Amino acid sequence: MRRFPRSVYSVGDEPDPRFSLANERTLLAWTRTGLALIAGGVALEVLGLDLHPGFRLAASLLLIVTGTAVAPLAWWEWMRAERALRLSRPLPGAFSALLLAVVVIVVGLLVTAGVLWR
């Protein structure tokens, strides 16, 4: 049986399906998060809120770029976790969560600055 991606499914043993399905749900949650970031960035710019234009644009672009980057990062995290499950190794840490936390803080600061300097 051929499954994609072979780099994941060609190693180790088949794990309990519940764990693989939970890993897939996490991938889908990260994908939804990416879509929400993109939508938030577009909405921030399109709605033309009464913010300093430079800070608003910077926050919008950061949200859109991060939302776009979340999809490949989520795929990479899914592959790492699935390989670990198949090899009975500890699950790797989620680098994407740290990146997302930093971006949310920076966007919050940009919006705050946009309100203060309008």
74-79: list long-range contacts, CB under 8 Å, 24+ apart. 74/27, 74/30, 74/31, 74/34, 75/27, 77/26, 77/27, 77/30, 78/23, 78/24, 78/26, 78/27, 79/5, 79/7, 79/8
pLDDT at res. 1: 64
Q: What is the extent of the structural domain holding 107?
A: 16-116
For residue 65, with 0-12 CB atoms within 10 Å meaning exposed, 13-18 middle and 19 or more buried, which class applies? middle
Burial class, 13, CB count within 10 angstroms (exposed 0-12 / middle 13-18 / buried 19+): exposed
Asked if residue 64 is part of any domain, the answer here is yes
**What's residue 49's pLDDT?**
87
Question: What single DSSP character describes residue 17?
Answer: H
Which residue positions in the chain have pLDDT lower than 70? 1
Q: Is the peptide bond before 15 cis (omega within 30 degrees of 0)?
A: no
Q: How many domains does the chain have?
A: 1
Is the residue at 10 inside a domain?
no
Q: Is 8 within the bounds of a domain? A: no
The answer to whether residue 2 sits within a structural domain is no
Please indicate, yes or no, if residue 103 is contained in any of the structural domains. yes
